[in-house]
Amino acid sequence: MTANHKDQVLAALRACGVREEELGGDLTSRTPLTGDSLLSVPRASREDVAEAIEAADSAFKQWRDVPAPVRGNVVKRWGELLTEHKRDLAILVQAEAGKSMSEAEGEVQEMIDICDFAVGQSRMLYGKTMPSERPGHRLMETWHPIGVVGVISAFNFPVAVYSWNTAIALVCGNTVVWKPSEMCVLSALGAHSLLARAVSDCDAPADIHRLVLADRTAGEAIVDDPRVALVSATGSTRMGKEIAPRVAQRFGRYLLELGGNNAAIVTPSADLDLALRGIVFAAAGTAGQRCTTLRRLLVHNSIADSLVPRIADAYGTLTIGDPRDESVLVGPLVNETSFNAMQQALQDAEAQGGEILCGGKRVLADEFPNAFYVQPAIVKMPAQTEVVQAETFAPILYVMTYENFDEAIEMHNAVPQGLSSAIFTQDQSEAERFLASSGSDCGIANVNIGTSGAEIGGAFGGEKETGGGRESGSDAWKAYMRRATNTINYSGELPLAQGVKFL
């Protein structure tokens, strides 16, 4: 880590409003760019987490009665501050997540976009009015805040996915306790400080948002605390299997965004130039560390020999290295654990009949001995073996062929995960069949675009072992509220429903 980079990170923190006293402690941020340590922060204890939840719960009792459009003013101000400090926060995201500046700024732009969306949503928390069977009665539904929302976020999108939850939760009248990945504490401090400033500028209760910087024990405290009405967690399927029963045991709510094992089908009618571009970004972008990364490519056997070599050739042109160089397209894996998991998956693939067509090797080890840069890999597989069924959070693209469309759909759906999916085709019938109930079984299904790059206007989430939750746009706001059905009698009489007679 050069002194210049650390100075740049410090300057970005200060620009976001982080104070010197918030730094220094035993929880150290490490940058995957070089493998070196950045800065340290104090580690929250379980008692600190309990105090944060108590404060958020107390603030909720005031915040829930603030009119929703007024609550929206806080999120509006947050969006303005994020716009003003977009580059500063992106510097922190790049330092901790290892993204290119384009992708890091794109992540902050997602935060700005969801703020815009949430401000509008603050005036559209609609309930229905239904006809009553009883004369002189009105039947309707109203939506109400639920309480403290605990947000547990992952390293690969250290601020964007958190903001999806937070912006919507706040306009819905909830308060938030955020436990970010311990690998991304500095970007969390930056985002939190900007929100704290927005809260102050709008004279809102200070504790409607609390940040706890800690390891897994802090997440467990959030999961188990009955004062946390909703736990929204992003991570592995293994993590989700631990969280869900613990929250359910106390009759809490959970919103889970878990593993993805995303596939794209390429049919004989596809525009192969278009498909090539979509496939390469979806498979190699962010060094394969997106939950929507393309991991399986299902190509019709009539075009495989022409398309797959073109993908391999395109991989050969990808610039791999320190993404502070703006010509770089593929940055590092987050740590050695991720690198070892990738190497093990490649060994398993070969043992299960696979052939590595390109990539998979570590590069730049002499220049960055403590960082882990790799060549994105393409592996030709004879079938969807055990290794293909599992998600490896690294740039490995498994390629398989199919003979007919029904087989392609069957192969596509034959994995435990169900997050994102895509088809490249110029045949309308194939596109419609892919989007139909008997087509893709994923929460996201795209036509002539890759599996990555979701917009905030649509609900984001998946099925099966992906968890089934929905965040961001559409009607995802309902996950952060409770519904009440109201009957209002203005008749002066007391008829019972279904014609029941009692008195």
Q: Catalytic site residues? A: 257
How far apart CA 135 and CA 477 sit, in angstroms, is 33
For residue 389, what are the contacts with CB-CB under 8 A and spacing of at least 6?
A: 261, 415, 416
Q: Which helix (H) or strand (E) holds 378?
A: strand 377-380
How far apart CA 445 and CA 451 sit, in angstroms, is 8
Structure-token pair, residue 137: 């009665």
Long-range contacts, stretch 20-23, CB < 8 angstroms, 24+ apart: 22/189
The single-letter DSSP state of residue 293 is: -
Structure-token pair, residue 199: 């809260």
How far apart CA 91 and CA 298 sit, in angstroms, is 37
Amino acid of residue 421: S
E strands, 193-352, where?
209-211, 228-234, 253-257, 262-266, 294-300
Three-class DSSP category at 402: strand
Phi, psi of 462 (to 5 degrees): -140, 180
How far apart CA 413 and CA 262 sit, in angstroms, is 10
How far apart CA 227 and CA 213 sit, in angstroms, is 19
Angle between helices 216-224 and 46-63 (to 10 degrees): 50
Q: Both ends of the chain: CA-CA distance in Å?
A: 81
Structure-token pair, residue 16: 């976001």
How far apart CA 375 and CA 318 sit, in angstroms, is 9
Whose tokens are 């961001």? That residue is 472
Three-class DSSP category at 298: strand
Strands of the sheet with 175-179, listed across from one edge = 209-211, 175-179, 148-152, 228-234, 253-257
Residues in the chain: 503
How far apart CA 480 and CA 482 sit, in angstroms, is 7
Structure-token pair, residue 14: 């200060």
